[in-house]
Structure 1
Amino acid sequence: MHALLIALAAGYGIAAGLLAARPLFRLAVQPDEPWRAACPDGHPITGPAAGWLGLARCGPCGRATDAGASPGAYGPNGVLVAGVCALACAGLAAAVGSRPELAVWLLLVPLSVVLAGVDLAVHRLPDVLTLPMALGSAALLGGAALVPGAAGSWSRAVFGGLALGAAYFVLFLINPAGMGFGDVKLAVTLGVALGWYGWDVLFLGAFTGLLLGAFYGVALVLTRRASRKAALAFGPFMIIGAGAGVLLGGLAAG
C-alpha cells in the first residue's frame, strides 16, 4: 500500500510538473513587465484558464517545426520540471505516508517549483503565488488537523509562519539589498509547513535554507561570478531547506 501511494504521488508530480512549466515561463518576467502572453516567436498563449493551464508547448510553433525542434517549445524544459516535482512528491509520500497533511504538501510542491524557477530566472517571487500560498497552506492544514491521523499542530503551524516571516522581515530590514521582500512572504508559507511538525523542524528547515544560500553566495564570490553586493536568488534555497525539514519531520512523526 505504501509503495502504491509513492507511485501515485510520483505520477501526480509528473502531471503537475508538466503543467507547472507554462506558468513558470509566463511569470518569469521583470517586475515592471506584464506576465508573458506569447511564445518567443510571438504566438499568443491560449488554452484553459486564460492560457495558464496547459503544456509548455506552443501549438503553432509545434506544428510548424519538426518534432523536438526547440522553436516549438517555450519556457523551461517541461520534462525537467516534471522530474523535480515527481521526485519531491514521491519523497514526501515515502516520508509522510497516508497522513492527511500529505495532500497539502503535494499541492505546495508544483507551486514551490514554479517560485524557485522564477526566482532563479529573474530574481523575484511573485505575489500572485506567495500570498495565496501563505493563506492557503494555513487554511488547508487547518482542515488536515481535523482529520484523524494528522501528525502535526495547526496552531503551531500558524505561529511558525508568523515567526519565520518575522525573522526574514528583520533580515530584510538589516540588508534589503541581499534579502528581498518576496523572501519574507515566502518565509510565511515555509514557516507554516515547518511549524506543523515542531519548532525543532522549523529551526532545522530554516537554518538549512540559510546555510545553503550562504554557501552558494560564497561560491559565486570566490569564483568571481558575482560581487559581495550582488542580489542572489535566495528563494530556491529556502524551499530546499524547508523541503528537507518537512521530509525529516514527516519521518520522525511516523
Structure 2
Amino acid sequence: MSVVVITLLAAAYGAAGGLLLPRAAYRLSVAPGEPWRAHCPAGHPVPRWLGPARCHGAPYGASAPGVAAVCALVCGALAAAGGARPEVGVYVGLAPGLVLLGLVDLAVHRLPDVLTLPLAALAAALLGAAALAPRAAGSWRLALLGGAALAGAYLLLFLINPAGIGFGDVKLALALGVALGWYGWGVWALGAFLGFAYGALYGLGLLLGGRAGRRTAFPFGPFMAAGALTGVLLGGFGA
C-alpha cells in the first residue's frame, strides 16, 4: 500500500474520531473532585460519551468540525512520516486520545487520570506488539526507558515547582516519553525540549501582549503533545 493511500486512510480515521470527541471533552472538563458532567449547559441530560456536543440543535463545547480537522491533520502527518511501518498504526490509533486530553486541559487546566494512564499503558503495550512485526523501525526497550525518563524528569520538576508543573503533566509525560523513546534518545531529547520551547514561546507571547503576568498559569499539556508530535514526525521521516 502506498504512502499516499495510508496517509488518506489515516486522515479519514482522524476526522471520524475527531467528530466523536467534543461530547467526551465536555463531560470530562470538570475540576478535580467533581463528577463528570451529565447535563448540557441548558440542563438537559447528555446521552452517552461520544459524539458532537449539540443539544436540541444548539452546539456547545468544542467545535466538532474543528476537532475533526485537527485529528485528521495529526493522523495524516503521522502516516506520511512513517508510511507502512507497524508503529504508525499505534501512533495514529492513539492520536485522537491525545487530542482529547488537549481539549480537556485547555478547558479546565487538568489532565484526568482516566485518560493519561490508559494512554501510557496502551502506548507501551501496542509498541511492544509493533516491535515484533516486520519493518518496525524502533526499539521497545528504548520506548520504555524513554517513558520512565521523561516521567521522572517531569516528576522532579513537579517536586521543585508544583505551581508550574502539574501532576497530570507527569502522567502525560509517561505516554509521550514512550512514544518518543521508540525512535531513540535523539528524538526523545528533541521532543522533550520542543515541548518546553513551545510552552515558553506561548507564555512569552501572552506576557508581551499584556494578557498574562509572570505567575499566570496556562495549560502545558498541549505544548508537551505538540513537542512530542514534532519529535515523532522527525523520527518517522528519519527512520
TM range (shorter): over 0.9
Q: Which amino acid aligns with 1:52?
A: W
Q: 2:16 aligns to what SS in structure 1?
A: helix
Is 2:190–2:231's contact at 8 Å kept on the other side of the alignment?
yes
Q: Which amino acid aligns with 2:38?
A: A
Deviation digits for residues 160-197 of structure 1 (CA, Å, limit 9, x no counterpart): 00000000111111111011010000000000000000
Is 2:22–2:62's contact at 8 Å kept on the other side of the alignment?
yes
Give the alignment partner of residue 106 of structure 1, picking from 79, 92, 108: 92
Q: TM-score w.r.t. structure 2 length?
A: 0.97
Q: Give yes or no for the alignment of 1:28 onto 2:39.
A: no
Give the aligned partner of residue 50 of structure 2.
53
Q: 1:197 aligns to what SS in structure 2?
A: coil
Q: Give yes or no for the alignment of 1:123 onto 2:124.
A: no
Give the aligned partner of residue 148 of structure 1.
134
Q: Which amino acid aligns with 2:157?
A: L
Deviation at 1:222, TM superposition (A): 2.4
Q: 1:43 aligns to what SS in structure 2?
A: coil
Provide structure 1 residue ranges, at least 5 long, that are not aligned to the other structure. Answer: 63-71
Give the aligned partner of residue 69 of structure 1.
none
Deviation digits for residues 20-42 of structure 1 (CA, Å, limit 9, x no counterpart): 11111111111132111111111
Root mean square deviation of aligned Cα: 1.0
Q: TM-score w.r.t. structure 1 length?
A: 0.91
d(CA) in 2 for partners of 1:216 and 1:112? 20
Larger Rg: 1
The size of the alignment, in residue pairs, is: 238
d(CA) in 1 for partners of 2:217 and 2:35? 22
Write the mapping of 1:183-198 to structure 2, written as runs, cut at 5 A. Answer: 183-198=169-184
Provide structure 2 residue ranges, at least 5 long, that are not aligned to the other structure. Answer: none
Give the aligned partner of residue 85 of structure 1.
71
Is 1:13–1:110's contact at 8 Å kept on the other side of the alignment?
yes
Q: Which amino acid aligns with 1:146?
A: L
Is 2:22–2:50's contact at 8 Å kept on the other side of the alignment?
no
Q: Give yes or no for the alignment of 1:167 onto 2:153.
A: yes
Give the aligned partner of residue 215 of structure 2.
229
Is 2:102–2:222's contact at 8 Å kept on the other side of the alignment?
yes
Give the aligned partner of residue 235 of structure 2.
249
d(CA) in 1 for partners of 2:227 and 2:202? 13
Q: 2:182 aligns to what SS in structure 1?
A: helix
